[in-house]
Chain A
Amino acid sequence: MRTKLSVVVAGFGLLLAAVPVMAHHAFNSEFDAKKHVEFRGTVTKMEWINPHAWIHVDVKKPDGTVEAWMIEAGTPNTLLRRGLTKNSLLPGTEIKVDGYQSKDGSLRANGRDLTLPNGQTLFLGSSGTGAPEEKK
């Protein structure tokens, strides 16, 4: 039965496009797939604002200068439902950012993956969602 259905539904993914999936905007309009960035930084502020939260991170460069980056996050309502709170990313928290930089070269990125010092992947779970509530 399962094998048979696999044949029947093969390729259905293409058709899911008809579902009006509405994010606030497509990330590839603002962030550049050719500008993959990975860096470590220190959280200076997290803005819990709609439609998207923003995480501000100071990044120390090898020459000692500091760059202030903004990392775009999800909608606050969903973050809260996933167990993230205002105490989850306090100023001073060190995070590793894996994402894509703004197309115009500004110091903004979308956070494809954020990792805490203890190795916990904040937003990409190899099992479950990686949300704090699921780590209990």
Chain B
Amino acid sequence: MSQRFLTSMGGLAVVIAVMALPAVPVAGQAPAAAKPAAPAKAAPAKTTAAKAYTVPKTPWGDPDLQGIWNDATSTPFQRPAKLGEKGVLGEDEADQFAEELAEDLNRDRRDGGPEADVNRAYNEHWMDARRLEAVKDRRTSLITDPPDGRIPPRVPLSPERAKARDARAEANTRFLAGMPNDPEDLSLPVRCVIRTDSPPYLPTIYNNDFQIFQSPGYVVIQPEMIHSARIIPVDGRPHLAKGILQWLGDTRGHWEGNTLVVETTNFRRDDGVMYQNTDPDTYKIVERFTRVDADRINYEFTISDPQTWAKPWSAMIPWNKTDDQIYEYACHEGNYDIVHLLHMGRIREAAGETVPRPRPVGAPEDR
């Protein structure tokens, strides 16, 4: 194993914070110049020049996406700012980038002092080994649009949403301090309500597998984590009535050529349900699944919410076929940590401990 360690401990600390508050991104850099609506398809020439792949069809004639797929990768969601608009690297550069990403993420190490070490108890043994592999098309970010590969700047929130954001930040501070007031100080993933099964599907540290099943009129996507299958009608029926709200929303799909296009609406209004705490009245997500090879699906999504970001943005994450099998992830089966954290909080309160002051809400990185 290489001895070169490039990780910043500050970076790790922020990563840990993001674990519990995935909805708050690091601020995007300044907006790039206006560009055409079509997302940048940053792929090396040799991929685009590859001979056409004939997508297999199901017996009833739909493109066949069935199988078990894995989306783990080390390629960063947002491009490191210093790479600017360098969306695709040359082969030598890509090799080094991949090596440095793997070193940066690898937790089989003891440097960095106890504060870093305590969190690296989730060392590589607990992780999906494939998360240390960069995407093969040598991109520098999973985000394909805007051209800088970064989430667009946030727009100012309404007073009501700013208040909700502040409340979330305070709850998260109590959680991270190990002194939650009540179960609802713990986020929906920690409470095993929803997790990486809610769109968009993003790579995480483990359980990155998805199984796709199809039958006439339906596509079903079963993520390994958390415990739900997304049943997607592709028969043209309308969305549920506006008042019927669900944790994972209501998804409808249709085929555009060989691409499965899905739109999801009707999310519940509970705190933490909306991706990045977007506004459910204005949020829109369109996902596209295209089988580009026997062993790969390109999973693309475009997200917009004028109440959250200055403009829409898009990403592409390759789903690689795996011989692995899906295991059940019965998240709440032994979720002892809820009890541990609540019990611990009361003991520490009784001992006179207090929760550290939360960082100022509305800090620039929230915008």
Q: Hey, which bits of chain A sit against chain B, CB under 8 A?
A: 1-2, 5-6, 8-34, 36, 47, 49-52, 54, 72-82, 99-100, 102-106, 108, 110-113, 122-127, 129-131
Contacts and interface: CB of A to CB of B under 8 A. Distances in A.
A28 B123 contact: no
B123 A124 contact: yes
Given A104-B344, A126-B1, A129-B108, A20 B77 contact: yes
A63 B234 CA distance: 69
A77 B92 contact: no
Contacts of A81: 128-129, 324
Contact of B329 (A19, A36, A50, A82): A50
Given A17-B14, A52-B337, A124 B108 contact: yes
B83 A130 contact: no
A25 B104 contact: no
B177 interface: yes
Given A103-B178, A103-B344, A112 B120 contact: yes
A121 B117 CA distance: 16
Contacts of B329: 50-51, 75, 77
Given A6-B96, A29-B341, A74 B18 contact: no
Interface residues of B, number: 90
Nearest to A83: B125
8 contacts: A1-B96, A14-B14, A22-B19, A25-B341, A28-B115, A77-B327, A78-B128, A129-B129
A104 B96 CA distance: 44
B118 A112 contact: yes
B7 A25 contact: no
Contact of B334 (A6, A36, A50): A50
Interface of B: 1, 6-8, 10-11, 14-20, 22, 25-26, 76-83, 86, 89-90, 92-93, 96-97, 100-101, 104-105, 108, 110, 113-115, 117-129, 150-151, 175-178, 186, 189-190, 192, 195-196, 202-207, 224, 324, 327-337, 340-341, 343-344, 347-348
A9 B11 contact: no
Contacts of A21: 15, 18-19, 204-205
A103 B334 contact: no
Nearest to A47: B334
Contacts of B224: 77
B300 to A, nearest CB: 17
A12 B80 contact: yes
B121 A110 contact: yes
A131 B344 CA distance: 33
Given A18-B26, A27-B119, A13 B16 contact: no
Contact of B11 (A1, A16, A50, A130): A16
Contacts of B104: 12-13, 16
B121 A111 contact: yes
Given A16-B11, A24-B190, A125-B108, A112 B78 contact: no
A25 B185 CA distance: 12
Contacts of B83: 8-9, 12
B323 to A, nearest CB: 11
Nearest to B90: A1
Contacts of B122: 23, 27, 74
A15 B121 contact: no
B331 A102 contact: no
B10 A78 contact: no
Question: 4 nearest interchain CB pairs?
Answer: A49-B334, A74-B126, A12-B80, A17-B14
Contacts of A72: 121, 337
Given A30-B341, A111-B121, A100 B114 contact: yes
A59 B178 CA distance: 26
B271 to A, nearest CB: 17
A50 B121 contact: no
Given A36-B114, A100-B117, A125-B1, 10 more contacts: A15-B76, A17-B14, A19-B78, A20-B204, A25-B19, A29-B175, A51-B333, A79-B125, A81-B128, A123-B125
